[in-house]
Amino acid sequence: MSLERLSRNRAFDGWLERYSHRSTSLDCDMVFAIYLPDQTLSAPCHSLYWLSGLTCTDENFTQKAGALRVAAELGLALVCPDTSPRGFDMPGEHDSYDFGSGAGFYVNATEQPWASHYRMYDYVNVELPALIEAQFPVTGKRSISGHSMGGHGALISALKNPGVYCSVSAFAPISNPSQCPWGEKALGGYLGNDRSTWAAYDACALIRSELTERLPLLVDQGDADNFLTEQLKPEALQAACDASGHALELRMQRGYDHSYFFISSFIEDHLRFHAKALNNA
């Protein structure tokens, strides 16, 4: 597959690169970022996929999270996809921040016109990893994390793909999307009005199902997050894990909000959590 390198910056004994490529899943050109520590010069590194939240691109995490120094120390490659397809200008695609452009919600849409392009679940879990592992010096071992909408994406990706990810974590994830306004809007728009189909992309519903793998979950949530009660619902995630015996470390962080100040404060813990799991897998 043809890749066009858009930029390359030296950072913390590694290289942060951005690439454009043609996505077959989404039928459009997509951009992703990858951080490759210098350890890849002598041996392939394991990968952590980061899924960003509403309105974000690949650049939010790489520029604001403060993750590169620790990733370099740990010899961990970071892969950061965009949050939606781009460039179609479909009716309503750019009308709001929480649906359409910048808000792909990491599902495979079944409703038109979205079904033709909004297939971020396949892009993140199938197409992009195959591309990364074919084109860059990384192993086949992956972990996944994300924030808000991306935290939802990380949880469902790990829960729906046993054996694919070595670990999973999230910052302020949309834990129960079928029961919150952001999720109801996105799942209804992309999947249709039959709410029974939404369970396939709801972490709480998946955890309550008969899973063949139960990776421990690490979740950080700020207690000063403006979206905590209405949109994020960590208590629903805790209840689902308690009911199913699914290991969950839910850390309520006092005074922290929904911003990248919150993420940058605890990202080192998450990187070390994933590096340990990847190295022990």
Domain boundaries, given as residue ranges, for the chain: 3-280
Sequence-distant (≥ 6) Cβ neighbours of residue 107 within 8 angstroms: 118, 120, 121, 186, 187, 190, 191, 201
Sequence-distant (≥ 6) Cβ neighbours of residue 268 within 8 angstroms: 70
Q: What is the pTM of this model?
A: 0.97
Dist. CA 16–CA 204, nearest whole Å: 35
CB atoms near residue 1 (< 10 Å): 11
Give the per-residue pLDDT at 18. 98
State whether residue 239 is helix, strand or coil. Answer: helix
Q: Which one is catalytic: 46, 147, 246, 258?
A: 258
Residue linked to tokens 């809007």: 185
Give the per-residue pLDDT at 163. 96
Give the per-residue pLDDT at 1. 63
Residue linked to tokens 């970022």: 33
Q: Which one is catalytic: 148, 169, 175, 178?
A: 148
Q: Catalytic residue at 148?
A: yes
Question: Tokens in use for 241?
Answer: 């894990």
CATH node for 3-280: 3.40.50.1820
Q: Catalytic residue at 117?
A: no
Q: Which one is catalytic: 147, 225, 270, 274?
A: 225
Give the per-residue pLDDT at 263. 98
State whether residue 110 is helix, strand or coil. Answer: coil
Give the per-residue pLDDT at 78. 98
Segments of 131-181 assigned E as strands: 138-146, 165-171
Closest to 203 (Cα-Cα) out of 164, 230, 228, 168: 168
Q: Catalytic residue at 223?
A: no
CB atoms near residue 143 (< 10 Å): 28
Dist. CA 142–CA 154, nearest whole Å: 12
Give the per-residue pLDDT at 280. 95
Question: Tokens in use for 89?
Answer: 């200008």
Give the per-residue pLDDT at 265. 98
Write out the chain's pLDDT in tens, 281 residues. 689 999 999 999 999 999 999 999 999 999 999 999 999 999 999 999 999 999 999 999 999 999 999 999 999 999 999 999 998 989 889 999 999 999 999 999 999 999 999 999 999 999 999 999 999 999 999 999 999 999 999 999 999 999 999 999 999 999 999 999 999 999 999 999 999 999 999 999 999 998 889 999 999 999 999 999 999 999 999 999 999 999 999 999 999 999 999 999 999 999 999 999 999 98
State whether residue 45 is helix, strand or coil. Answer: strand
